[in-house]
Amino acid sequence: MSADSTGVRVPAAVQKGVPGSVVDRTSAIRWTRCGTMQCATLKVPRDYADPSAGTIDLTVTRRPADRQGTGPDGRLGVLVTNPGGPGTAAAQTVPMFAQIVGRDVRSRFDIIGINPRGTGDDQPAVCTGKPGQAMPNLSEWIFPTTAAQVRAQLANDAYNVALCRKATGTQVLRHMSTGDSARDIDAVRAALGEQQINYYGVSYGTQLGATYSQLFPTRVRTMVLDGTLDPIAWTTGRGESATTPSTTRVNSHVSGHEALLAAIAECERVGPGGCAEHATIRADWAQLQASLKRGPITLAEDFSISYDMVIAMVNAGLYDYEGVPDVLTMIRGFNELAAGKPGAVEPPPVTDPRVNAALTAYRKVVARDERNRRTRIAYDPPAPEEEEAPTPEYYAAFTGVACSDGVQPKDPQAWPRAAAVADRVAPGFGALWTWESSVCAQWPFPSTGAYRGPFTTTNPGGMLIVNTTHDPATGYAGARVMRELRPDSRIVTVPGWGHGVLDTSGCATGVRTDYLISGDLPATDQECAQDHPLFTSLH
């Protein structure tokens, strides 16, 4: 192997199809203090196949282990974390992860966060036009529900693609695949002087971890995947990629719909002793959907709800295990206010207690959604501030990864067709998830660093998979796929709700902690209950 100013080169065979070479050793990281953490910036090649083609700055954060030294009770290494996305910065989530993993783990590992390419302030994937440049009428819907909205959505996708083609500073869009970010993790590992890493990924973070484990199989000591994506569906699909978008293939719409129906069934099961909505919630949901399909409904002054908005809010509310009951309260309240009437109804007076109850539940769901966006698979960027001469901007942090990773249909009409088919299985949820990737039909930035399988290579420390049975985004089926792909894995099944197990089950936390510290998987698959019932006694 030959060396140059960027370090020692590793043969391409190690990189599973990436030509050329990658950096194996970089200069040491220099830390500065940033609040309770330590922060650093590391330069890595923009294109690992051509390290001479420029660099990207990565923000890296660290919470050092409480214990130091190398004795039997000392520091065990680094634990790299990723909260999901794609499109979510990871560096600032280190304190959150330190709390989730618990005292025993954070005392033994340096917890590391690395911003994936195109996120945070690290050369963000934002396509920016010129002030005053002509812009289409931007959509005011979350996903299109009419033929006119479908046409406008596809036109808006084409506009955003054209904007990205012309924008300056968007070279990162060709190098945003999960494979590229996995190589960034290894560059950080090398800069830290570590021989191996430990890894904990949630949601999309499981795809990043699974990819790293394939590109660098000998460099994994332990790996925890929490809320696991089906890696084949996300990348190549199983023969349906020419007609079905990746955001349909992963079946998140099925998972979201199932999680809601399971929560409704649990509400009915516990009855009046635990769920106040038990007698009407199933009918409330059916009636509310029927009303909203006829048109938006005004519930209070300056507050209206539409079909797409309610589907999105229900889906988001199901992410937080503690907040699922609020979703049912919101549904009942909205339906009572809508009263099954379409269009422009006379809003109830703001003094109506039903208004306060419904809006209180709605605000709880919104607040939980804002906190939990760090683990959402879908990326919803903030709207740009209004200016005298508006500047068009397209935030491509989600699509830059999704369009690079997944084999996608080339025909834009594949999205409305797939959404219609998915909606027959999971009404509303099918369209919500399918349309997330519609810009990929025309995406002109293929990534040479993309990794699309196989996902069967084993690691010395194996893999621990944890999943709830009613995860609304990364359903239990994805965890089962990963378990079957990896004979060196074990699965911890947690009957219950929420996106990711995280810290909702002391039993699962114990299994995870034992694995991370000992490096040894449990002998068999495990089942662990959640600590808290979905509905507690009202008496």
pLDDT in tens, 293-347: 988 888 776 778 899 999 999 999 999 999 899 999 999 988 988 874 444 445 5
The strand order across the sheet containing 526-527 reads 32-34, 37-45, 55-63, 109-114, 77-82, 197-202, 220-226, 463-470, 489-497, 526-527
Confidence of residue 21 (pLDDT cuts 50, 70, 90): very low
Residue 418 lies in a domain: no
Question: What is the domain range of residue 340?
Answer: 253-375
Burial of 524 (0-12, 13-18, 19+ CB in 10 A): exposed
Q: Decide: helix, strand or coil at residue 259.
A: helix
Residue 420 lies in a domain: no
Residue 474 lies in a domain: yes
Do 62 and 186 lie in one domain? The reply is yes
Q: Decide: helix, strand or coil at residue 207.
A: helix
How many domains does the chain contain in total?
2
Do 193 and 275 lie in one domain? The reply is no
Do 340 and 312 lie in one domain? The reply is yes
Q: Find out whether the peptide bond into 86 is cis, omega within 30 degrees of 0.
A: yes
Return the amino acid letter for 334.
F
Asked if residues 397 and 86 have their Cβ atoms less than 8 Å apart, the reply is: yes
pLDDT in tens, 439-493: 999 999 988 899 999 999 999 999 999 999 999 999 999 999 999 999 999 999 9
Do 194 and 292 lie in one domain? The reply is no
Asked if residues 130 and 415 have their Cβ atoms less than 8 Å apart, the reply is: no
Q: Which two tokens stand for residue 332?
A: 């009942």
Of 375, 403, 430, which closes a domain? 375
Do 351 and 457 lie in one domain? The reply is no
CATH code of the domain covering residue 36: 3.40.50.1820
- For the residues 150-170, what does the mean pLDDT come to? 89
Phi then psi dihedrals of residue 331, to 5 deg: -60, -50
Residue 419 lies in a domain: no
Q: What is the pTM of this model?
A: 0.90
Q: Rounded distance, CA 264 to CA 401, Å?
A: 34
What's the mean per-residue pLDDT of the chain? 86
Do 30 and 108 lie in one domain? The reply is yes
- Sequence-ordered list of residues with C-beta below 8 angstroms from that of 156, at least 6 positions apart, any chain: 136, 138, 139
Confidence of residue 255 (pLDDT cuts 50, 70, 90): very high
In this prediction, residue 376 carries a pLDDT of 37
In this prediction, residue 371 carries a pLDDT of 59
Residue 116 lies in a domain: yes
Do 69 and 212 lie in one domain? The reply is yes
Do 106 and 207 lie in one domain? The reply is yes
Q: What percent of the chain is modeled with pLDDT above 90?
A: 64
Asked if residues 106 and 65 have their Cβ atoms less than 8 Å apart, the reply is: yes
Instruction: Find, among 136, 132, 89, the residue nearest to 113 by Cα.
Output: 89
Asked if residues 337 and 354 have their Cβ atoms less than 8 Å apart, the reply is: yes
CA end-to-end span of the chain: 71
Instruction: Find, among 94, 118, 98, the residue nearest to 184 by Cα.
Output: 118
Of 316, 345, 375, which closes a domain? 375
Q: Decide: helix, strand or coil at residue 182.
A: helix
Of 347, 375, 403, which closes a domain? 375
Do 276 and 343 lie in one domain? The reply is yes
Confidence of residue 49 (pLDDT cuts 50, 70, 90): confident
- For the residues 405-429, what does the mean pLDDT come to? 96
Residue 207 lies in a domain: yes
Phi then psi dihedrals of residue 388, to 5 deg: -60, -45
- Sequence-ordered list of residues with C-beta below 8 angstroms from that of 16, at least 6 positions apart, any chain: 214, 215, 451
The strand order across the sheet containing 7-10 reads 3-4, 7-10, 22-23
In this prediction, residue 48 carries a pLDDT of 87
Return the amino acid letter for 423.
D
Radius of gyration of the chain from Cα atoms?
23
Residue 209 lies in a domain: yes
Do 318 and 199 lie in one domain? The reply is no
Instruction: Find, among 325, 251, 165, the residue nearest to 474 by Cα.
Output: 251
Do 205 and 114 lie in one domain? The reply is yes
The string of DSSP codes covering 349-360 is PTT-HHHHHHHH
- For the residues 142-164, what does the mean pLDDT come to? 93
Do 29 and 98 lie in one domain? The reply is yes
Residue 409 lies in a domain: no
